A and B are shown apart, each in its own frame.
Chain A
Amino acid sequence: MDVLLLQAVKSVATADVNSSINYLPIVLQLLVAIGIVVLMMTGTHLLGPKRKTEDKLKNFESGIDAVGNARQPMAIKYFLVAILFVLFDVEVIFFYPYAVNFRALGWEGFLAVLGFVGFFLVGFIYIIKKGALSWED
């Protein structure tokens, strides 16, 4: 019963950590996930009405008629800022473990984090100097 509730089987688990029975919950979960997807897809396919009109079959691109070459130069400033934000945002997460443990890590930890922030800053200065953040040309 434990297995079906996605719980490890205790009696087996203690006997043999390598036993593949421990991974049965994962397999079950996988099966359920695939099952739901298949069920939904076939369900909607079978149940929904099918009306094929010209408008529905046309290529759809943000509601605008698709014309011309896709390889047009375009401003990527927004994407640049966005991706840089993500980068720095993710790095900030590394402060959390330090903030929780900073007393325990002592001076050595402090120096390590200082080094980390240092690299961080260097990267920041580099992108500013490169003009990645200047909005006007």
Chain B
Amino acid sequence: MNVLILSIFWGIVMMFSGIALKKKGIATGLAIAGVLILLLGNLGDMSTVVITTSTFNDMLAFRGYNVLFISIVLVATLMYFLVSGREIENVGTGGFDYYALIFFVLTGIVIASSFNNLLMLFLGIEIISIPLYILTGSDKKNLKSNEASLKYFLMGSFSTGIMLLGIAFIYGDSGSLAIVPAPSPFGFSFTSLPTLSAVGALLLMFSLAFKVSAAPFHFWTPDVYDGAPTVFTSFMATIVKAGTFIAFFRMFAGGFASVQGSWGLAMQVIIFLTLLIGNLTAVFQQSAKRMMSYSSIAQAGFMLLAIYAHNDMAKEGFLVYTAAYVLATIGVFALLSRVADPGFQGFNGLAKKEPLLAATTTICLLSLAGIPLTGGFLGKYYMLVATAKAGGPFWLVIFAVICAAISIYYYFRLIIAMYFKEGNPEMAPVSRGLKFWLVVLCVLILALGIFPYEVLLNNLLSL
């Protein structure tokens, strides 16, 4: 609750400070202060120190799991600001407006992670999406950025339409907008929905799959990620993705969990395609930025396993996976946005020039690839155990594992370029502060991989 109100408030503060304060450099400082305030508010949510106890007629729920998830998002945002603040200020006309938009996206994420009502789901997803259309096109002089923005907007509104249609079907069938489907008087069995609701649920699944860029609804992702300014790609691929994923998770692993008969098979197909297409296409990319966008599709495939399994293991694992994925991707993008040539050859010999930066990026990449001792491994491990425990199909687990092995190929291409190839990469200067925060990021990733309970999950048990 606190975070919801504070994030709107701070968004407005950022908007107006852009007008009141002409100086450019303080935008990042102000935004960091804002996230810290949000984090305080989040702490308040955890210990019931709240501004208001209203739940908007039970349309939103602020309970343990969501609150913990929001704190992951906030910490990730904080790291994102610390690592990429300079870049955000350099895009377009000035940082304040973009920071304001980012705070509004956070508002959307808070709603999307705590909705109890289909309308709130819609509202949350829209509040996340609309600022993103603007952020994608924020590099106004760049045609690719414009194209990406328009493409994203058109496809995004189309998928929103599909979501509304799905909600309409569910409402038409059950007469209720609550996310747990009310048993309708006829034709309801405990494992599947009546036809109309099932169609609605599938439409909802498709539109959410679009938002999290799961195959076969992923076609916008590479173009948009490639066209958008790299800092905002970093934001979209990490925090926003996590925010839309929690909506997906809450809807299907929460609301529709008991009626998996209606959507389980479709989900299997989506997971299979996402893993396959994401990994195989990433292998053939020549640009690290495009590789990262396909990698984000591939990682989405693993996260979907949590929704498919939706048991306790999946719930814990979803948090670990999200945290590890988001942090590691922010770390990789921090380097990407500073290198002049986003192709793999642009990284040749980087380890000689910037050994520390190469080391942190390597740790992030190892985490994404799922090497033990990193959070990324534990996330993948959780997903596999959850699927196995839920009695998920054996072939899917094996397939996921093989895809994880394929992913080694493209993540290590970057490592190979940095460490084992000769070259002199052209890149923006790297400040001491950035290096420090990247080290902190890596420590967080490693801590998550070694002490997941101490760092994160014990909070879940105590909430």
Contact = CB atoms under 8 A, between A and B. Distances in A.
Nearest to B197: A18
Interface in B142-174: 143, 173
A17 B196 CA distance: 12
Contacts of A129: 16, 19
Contacts of B16: 125-126, 129
Contacts of A16: 186
Interface string B1-40: 0000000000010011001000000000000000000000
Interface residues of A, number: 9
B152 to A, nearest CB: 19
Given A129-B19, A130-B19, A18 B186 contact: yes
A121 B185 CA distance: 47
B222 interface: no
Contact of B185 (A17, A122, A126, A130): A17
B194 A18 contact: yes
A129 B19 CA distance: 7
B459 interface: no
B170 to A, nearest CB: 13
Contacts of B186: 16, 18
Contacts of B194: 18
A107 to B, nearest CB: 15
Contacts of B173: 18
B15 A126 contact: yes
Nearest to A131: B19
A11 B173 CA distance: 19
B187 A18 contact: yes
B185 A18 contact: yes
Nearest to B12: A122
Contacts of A71: 143
Nearest to B194: A18
Interface in B175-192: 184-187
Contact of A18 (B15, B19, B143, B196): B196
Given A129-B19, A130-B19, A18 B12 contact: no
A100 to B, nearest CB: 20
B453 to A, nearest CB: 41
Residue among B19, B173, B194 having the largest count of chain A Cβ atoms under 10 Å = B19
Contacts of A125: 16
A16 B196 CA distance: 14
A73 B184 CA distance: 57
B304 to A, nearest CB: 31
Contacts of A18: 173, 184-187, 194, 196
Q: Which 3 A-B pairs have the closest CB atoms?
A: A129-B19, A18-B186, A126-B15
Given A18-B173, A18-B187, A125-B16, 9 more contacts: A17-B185, A18-B184, A18-B185, A18-B186, A18-B194, A71-B143, A126-B16, A126-B19, A129-B19
18 contacts: A16-B186, A17-B185, A18-B173, A18-B184, A18-B185, A18-B186, A18-B187, A18-B194, A18-B196, A71-B143, A122-B12, A125-B16, A126-B15, A126-B16, A126-B19, A129-B16, A129-B19, A130-B19
Interface of B: 12, 15-16, 19, 143, 173, 184-187, 194, 196
